[in-house]
Structure 1
Amino acid sequence: MSNSGETLPKKLQDENAMIISDSHENGTSTDAQTVCRDSLPPLEKTQDESTEPTEPLWTSFADGRVRLRIDKSCPQTPITVHQMFKESLEKYGSLNALASKKNGKWEKITFSEYYCLSRKAAKSFLKLGLERFHSVGILGFNSPEWFISAVGAVFAGGIVTGIYTTNSPEACHYIAHDSKTNIMVVENQKQLDKIMQIWSRLPHLKAVVLYKDSVPERHPNLYTMEEFLELGKDLPDATLDDIINSQKPNQCCVLIYTSGTTGKPKGAMLSHDNITWTSAHCSRAGDMQPAEVQQESIVSYLPLSHIAAQIYDLWTGIKWGEQVYFAEPDALKGSLIDTLKEVQPTSHMGVPRVWEKIMEKLKDASAQSGFMKKKMLSWAMSLSLERNLNCSRSCGKPAPGCRVKLVDEDVEGNGEICFWGRTVFMGYLNMEDKTKEAFDEEGWLHSGDLGKLDKDGFLYVTGRIKDLIITAGGENVPPIPIEDAVKKELPVVSNAMVIGDKKKFLSMLLTLKSVLDPDTSDPTDILTEQARDFCQKTGSKATKVSEIVATRDQAIYQAIQEGINKVNMNATNRVHCIQKWIVLPRDFSISGGELGPTMKLKRLTVLEKYRHEVDSFYEE
């Protein structure tokens, strides 16, 4: 049975029954996409009468429409987010949809309650003056309120825009201003303070909703979530239904902002069809089952302002009737593992750095365990490895309606990966030039990723064009394979970054694995158990990063050089060899500026921050 009355404030549950009766960096991902070189079939007219052949394949306007990339291998009729939710409601209405922990107890709401709360949110957004194709910004950690606000914004004809909780007030201002945010939904006092600093410079912002903390002091147009959801109760259902029914699959409903690692953040516009088609097809790549076969359970913890987490947690959850458990806000500081143990999800997604951190924890636990426990852990990990190796060839097979090709291939077969299909986003909001750079005349999206295809048609991602290092001799060097090889060879290394653009040879910046501060997630000076174990095997007694760097610990530095020598032995040619390196005194972090919100390395920032160290490599 549902404990919906305790999941959200009791007021949020009113009128549910009668409401039921009334009713990618750009939106695409390199992995699990179609791999083929076939010529494109002619674009077909969507079954939605509003999509005329004259409509463009891309747009930079929030109220624009695009021609959907539909072919015979992709027969799904384009539908809106509301249509997708209604289809799921008929099948999964009584199943639990969202689960959050309150006072140590999991409290759940069903899909029927979820839908009704989303309609209430939509009415309240309209009451506050949400304009068509204007934004609802959401600034907070994953929660039922995040999901309900997002779905409600779409129902109301707005565009949901997630904002990273790590963003500064100025970064929040840029996104809110660019997307013409009408209403901002924030989690707590910390996030509210950011908006209060910039509110006077946001001409489109009409109201702010606070969904966790209580309002510290009354302020015009500042509401608690309970107050907010009551605002639209007098709005006729017919008013909302008219807006819902006017929505088309080829219109924008979601904005995903890039992290801005290479300039101003770009708002990637996603259509209803981008969301509903991707939820229906790409989720099946992980063998996710619809709830009528088996209800999947997942843990939501990655930033929902990122497309991968939003698709996997929010939209796919609606499409297939999944039960979504929300992790604690300090999930990435250590509590995630406890949530996973308790929930035991049937499927779990993580960016590479998350999996690396989990592996580091496992190795630390193994190092501190007795003989039998070590043997059992090793046995369990070997079984998991064998299972994953056996099924790894399911990756990269063509998905109906999606295609991939390589352009500008080099002699080794590396070229830019380009996409075509219904996963391809609409364009960058208010950035026509950037949008034109992303698409060619046939509508292929140029991803900026480098990759190669093997003889069986499987795609391998080898780097980013913007990350590509071009040496003084004109050699193209993708840095990521070299960096990955160094980290694999040297388990003491946390981050490795290749340097050498316009230089005569390659060098490398290294950081060592250190324990994270449990309160801030910032790296400390203390080496991890795995790193200390590596040091001991080299004959060093070091336990701190500062000890190693200050004394240039001979044993450890020699071991690092030997590891790099092994990597160099397997290099494509001498140009790909690392000739100089340095160990930095502190690991990379989000707070330090070297990593983005999704733990992506910000290469330009690192180059600027460690300019002195980089210059020292190339002094004559």
Structure 2
Amino acid sequence: MNDMDLERRNLKPATSYTSTSLHGAVKLCLDVGGTSALSQLPPQTIPRRFQDVCQQYAEHPALVWETPGTGGDGWTTLTYADYQRRVEQTALMLINVGLEERSSLGVLAFNCPEWFFAELGALRAGAVVAGIYPSNSAEAVRHVLATSEATVCVVDDSQQMAKLRAIKDTLPRLKTVIQLHGPYEAFVDKEEGYYSWKQLEEKTYSNDLKKELLERESRVYANECAMLIFTSGTVGLPKAVMLTHDSIVFNAKSASASMKDVQDGEERMVSFLPLSHIAAQIFDVFLGLEHGGCVTFADKDALKGTLVRTLQKAKPTRMFGVPRVFEKFQERLVAAEAKAKPYSRLLLSKARAAVAEYQLAVMAGEKPSIYAITKYWLASRMIRPIRQMMGLDHCRSFLTGGAPTSDEMKNFFLGLDIALGECYGMSESGGAITLNTEISNLFSSGQPIAGVAVKVQEPDASGKGEIIMRGRSTFMGYLGQPEKTKETINADGWLLSGDLGYFDQHGNLVISGRLKELIITAGGENIPPVHIEELIKKELPCVSNALLVGDHRKYLTVLLSLKAKSDPTTGIPLDDLREETIEWLQEVGLNQTRLSELLSIPADLQLPNDTAAMSAALQITAEPKLLEAIEAGIKRANKNSISSAQRVQKFALMPHEFSLATGELGPTLKIRRNIVHAKYAQIIERLYN
């Protein structure tokens, strides 16, 4: 491709598919997808795509958020025309306070419209966006800002500002910190380098600054880095995944093309998952744009119980959530059903069973009879009020990903006429790799999205091997880490996912485990832990977390935590058991309602304290009936083992559920295996002595 072609395609000259510098550019995999219409789309920068969408849907609603005390119904709606104006004003103010080209803008805030304005404004100004999890410590925030070469950081409130205040002197490139929401400390807007968003946004900026913005935007290329996603590793500091403008735009277009019944200009989504994660970026920001849709922002307490209120307001047509989000819905519904009259519970149970039976038959390709259709129609009328209560009665697709979704949960929601389509993706793939929109079973992750080539490398006799993929959405590299980049993406642009899987007879990708998470027993057998953990959880519905242990050991063991309630404010697990756990216990002849009673441990544990949790774990003396029932469940799970080496021999109960607050789960709610292994090392050793 000559320089004229590059200029026409808004591409910067590049000789490699990888780069680890914010000033570099990469070759794009434009040869993937053949002659399909999608693969022929020219590369595009995010600012250019944003401008096109805003012009096309100028008077359509773009963003909605709650603004109590402002009159009206307490909600503000922004059209695409106003959205574009707010982004331009943000770009001007960011340049004014020192945002440099090819540096990054750090954003340390919960989802809000200003997050979107800051991101798109920074990209117009020729910078890169680096999201930071609000739960990060000051030291973790410093790592992100230092690694990403940040010159400006936007923070949520005074709590987040305190983190920046503590570390700003250690970050010589960081010029400015902007606080979005009050209350403000005395130094904000008074000391150099500290500002309130409102004051900056209300300023009038000069024509010279507007001219500089246009000049900067003209120097933005589609094959340069637009975004940094910091991977939440289980050990060590996270790596910065570099994604190009074209990667993000193309992945959103490809995902959109794979969805059914898309109604441009009419789609509605709710933003509540962390925007520092690639899934929320693609689904909230860029699929919202791609559909000309409307995004409603949930509040900070969304995952602590207020999400349903936002869903009822927004009435989304598409929803994406990690499994834990749907699990919280399930917990609330089970708890509400437990309080209903016996006759109502029986009717609802039969209706759910009828709906699930019909859905499974349709998935299997069966042609339903008139009787089956009538039965489903009647049952679905009984189920509809539940979906309305959840605010999901207009939702046409439900996607879940980020962690395995249990069969039990999928079947539960299927009974509510909600088919959870498990999808597969990763930060390094620029978002989605597969989407399960044509659901034909409950165990696969769907088919590869358009324009993405997916293969199983070096498959074994059963067809399982490492999943590799190639396409325009593949990441550039890990910022400043060329060796790590070479380990993950080869010279031809193939991304080595580190995940194990295979294709079923319908061409759906099935994920079977992580290559790095493989347990290699003392006998040399490779064992994927997730599969065995899910077998156990299926047999024991009282179990919340199951973590398999056995690397370099003679046999397998498992750590189990029981389902209990959690504090809606802190997320810390409570002593009270969940309703489904209590029901399961009653079935085995136990009537305890508190974990401390069941395990004979103190009821007032200081759970964020690892020492206290470890001490409690060593003190556990569980009810004999509980131990017998769990052992029986594990034996049933062992019957589905592929070999004798994959059978679990022993188990240990944990003193609480794994959670983000207590450190066993990462920001995306995946189990941090190395952390759990270290925290409960004494318990693990006791299982092998």
Same fold per TM (> 0.5)? yes
- 1:314 is the counterpart of 2:285: yes
Change (3 A) 1:178 1:496: same
Please list, as runs of the form range in 1=range in 2, the aligned pairs for 1:169-248 lying within 5 A after superposition.
169-218=138-187, 219-231=191-203, 233-236=205-208, 237-248=210-221
- The one-letter code of the counterpart of 2:194 is L
The one of 440, 464, 477 aligned to 1:393: 440
- The one-letter code of the counterpart of 2:24 is G
Q: Which residue of 2 aligns with 1:93?
A: 58
Structure 1 residue 371: Cα displacement: 3.3
Give the TM-score, by structure 2 length: 0.80
Change (3 A) 1:604 1:367: same
Change (3 A) 1:386 1:216: farther
Structure 1 residue 235: Cα displacement: 4.6
1:543-578 superposed Cα distances (whole Å, 9 cap, x missing partner): 111222224112222111111111001111111111
Change (3 A) 1:495 1:444: same
Q: Which residue of 1 aligns with 2:225?
A: 252
- The one-letter code of the counterpart of 1:615 is E
- 1:617 is the counterpart of 2:687: yes
Which whole-Å CA distance do the structure 2 matches of 1:276 and 1:467 have between them?
A: 32
Structure 1 residue 288: Cα displacement: 6.3
Q: Which residue of 2 aligns with 1:29?
A: none
Which whole-Å CA distance do the structure 2 matches of 1:436 and 1:59 have between them?
A: 10
Which whole-Å CA distance do the structure 1 matches of 2:307 and 2:200 have between them?
A: 31
Which whole-Å CA distance do the structure 2 matches of 1:429 and 1:507 have between them?
A: 38
- The one-letter code of the counterpart of 1:233 is Y
Structure 1 residue 49: Cα displacement: 4.9
3-state SS, counterpart of residue 451 of structure 1: strand
Q: Which residue of 2 aligns with 1:438?
A: 488
Contact 2:256 2:290 in 1 (8 A): no
The one of 70, 80, 85 aligned to 2:30: 70
Which whole-Å CA distance do the structure 2 matches of 1:601 and 1:48 have between them?
A: 46
Q: Which residue of 1 aligns with 2:529?
A: 479
| Structure of higher RCO (CA pairs closer than 8 Å, 6+ residues apart) | 1
Which whole-Å CA distance do the structure 2 matches of 1:89 and 1:241 have between them?
A: 17
Q: Which residue of 2 aligns with 1:569?
A: 639
Contact 1:168 1:194 in 2 (8 A): yes
Count of aligned positions: 573
Please list, as runs of the form range in 1=range in 2, the aligned pairs for 1:79-118 lying within 5 A after superposition.
79-103=44-68, 105-118=74-87
The one of 368, 374, 387 aligned to 2:339: 368
The one of 273, 289, 312 aligned to 2:246: 273
- The one-letter code of the counterpart of 2:167 is I
Structure 1 residue 385: Cα displacement: 7.3
3-state SS, counterpart of residue 510 of structure 1: strand
Contact 2:13 2:25 in 1 (8 A): no
The one of 150, 153, 162 aligned to 2:122: 153
Which whole-Å CA distance do the structure 2 matches of 1:216 and 1:250 have between them?
A: 41
Q: Which residue of 1 aligns with 2:503?
A: 453
Change (3 A) 1:261 1:381: farther
Which whole-Å CA distance do the structure 2 matches of 1:88 and 1:384 have between them?
A: 39
- 1:489 is the counterpart of 2:536: no
Change (3 A) 1:223 1:553: same
Contact 1:290 1:321 in 2 (8 A): no
Which whole-Å CA distance do the structure 2 matches of 1:584 and 1:54 have between them?
A: 52
Please list, as runs of the form range in 1=range in 2, the aligned pairs for 1:345-364 lying within 5 A after superposition.
345-364=316-335
1:243-285 superposed Cα distances (whole Å, 9 cap, x missing partner): 1122111011111001132322110011110111111111343
Q: Which residue of 2 aligns with 1:528?
A: 578
Q: Which residue of 1 aligns with 2:275?
A: 304
Which whole-Å CA distance do the structure 1 matches of 2:303 and 2:357 have between them?
A: 24
The one of 621, 624, 629 aligned to 1:559: 629
Change (3 A) 1:52 1:250: closer
Which whole-Å CA distance do the structure 2 matches of 1:446 and 1:192 have between them?
A: 38
- 1:420 is the counterpart of 2:470: yes
Contact 1:493 1:511 in 2 (8 A): yes
3-state SS, counterpart of residue 258 of structure 2: helix
1:459-508 superposed Cα distances (whole Å, 9 cap, x missing partner): 10011111110000110000001111211211110100000000011000
Contact 2:12 2:25 in 1 (8 A): no
Which whole-Å CA distance do the structure 1 matches of 2:506 and 2:545 have between them?
A: 33
Which whole-Å CA distance do the structure 1 matches of 2:341 and 2:269 have between them?
A: 32
Contact 1:123 1:235 in 2 (8 A): no
The one of 676, 682, 685 aligned to 1:606: 676
Structure 1 residue 613: Cα displacement: 0.4
Q: Which residue of 1 aligns with 2:407?
A: none
1:96-127 superposed Cα distances (whole Å, 9 cap, x missing partner): 11111111622111111111111111111111
- The one-letter code of the counterpart of 1:467 is E
1:345-404 superposed Cα distances (whole Å, 9 cap, x missing partner): 111111122222222222222222223542454325753674476341396334332111
Which whole-Å CA distance do the structure 2 matches of 1:494 and 1:426 have between them?
A: 37
Change (3 A) 1:253 1:483: same
Change (3 A) 1:224 1:51: closer
Structure 1 residue 290: Cα displacement: 4.6
Contact 2:255 2:450 in 1 (8 A): no
Which whole-Å CA distance do the structure 1 matches of 2:357 and 2:218 have between them?
A: 49
- The one-letter code of the counterpart of 1:209 is I
Which whole-Å CA distance do the structure 2 matches of 1:430 and 1:398 have between them?
A: 30
Which whole-Å CA distance do the structure 2 matches of 1:422 and 1:222 have between them?
A: 39
Structure 1 residue 232: Cα displacement: 6.3
Change (3 A) 1:597 1:451: same
- 1:429 is the counterpart of 2:429: no
The one of 578, 581, 589 aligned to 2:659: 589
Contact 1:507 1:617 in 2 (8 A): yes
Change (3 A) 1:382 1:213: farther
Structure 1 residue 182: Cα displacement: 0.8
Change (3 A) 1:93 1:382: farther
3-state SS, counterpart of residue 318 of structure 2: coil
Change (3 A) 1:359 1:581: same
1:399-453 superposed Cα distances (whole Å, 9 cap, x missing partner): 3321111123233322110010012111111111110110122210001111112
- The one-letter code of the counterpart of 1:285 is S
Identity %: 37
Q: Which residue of 2 aligns with 1:291?
A: 264
Which whole-Å CA distance do the structure 2 matches of 1:95 and 1:385 have between them?
A: 40
- The one-letter code of the counterpart of 1:106 is W
- The one-letter code of the counterpart of 2:15 is E
Structure 1 residue 600: Cα displacement: 0.7
Give the TM-score, by structure 1 length: 0.89
Change (3 A) 1:373 1:213: farther
Structure 1 residue 509: Cα displacement: 0.2
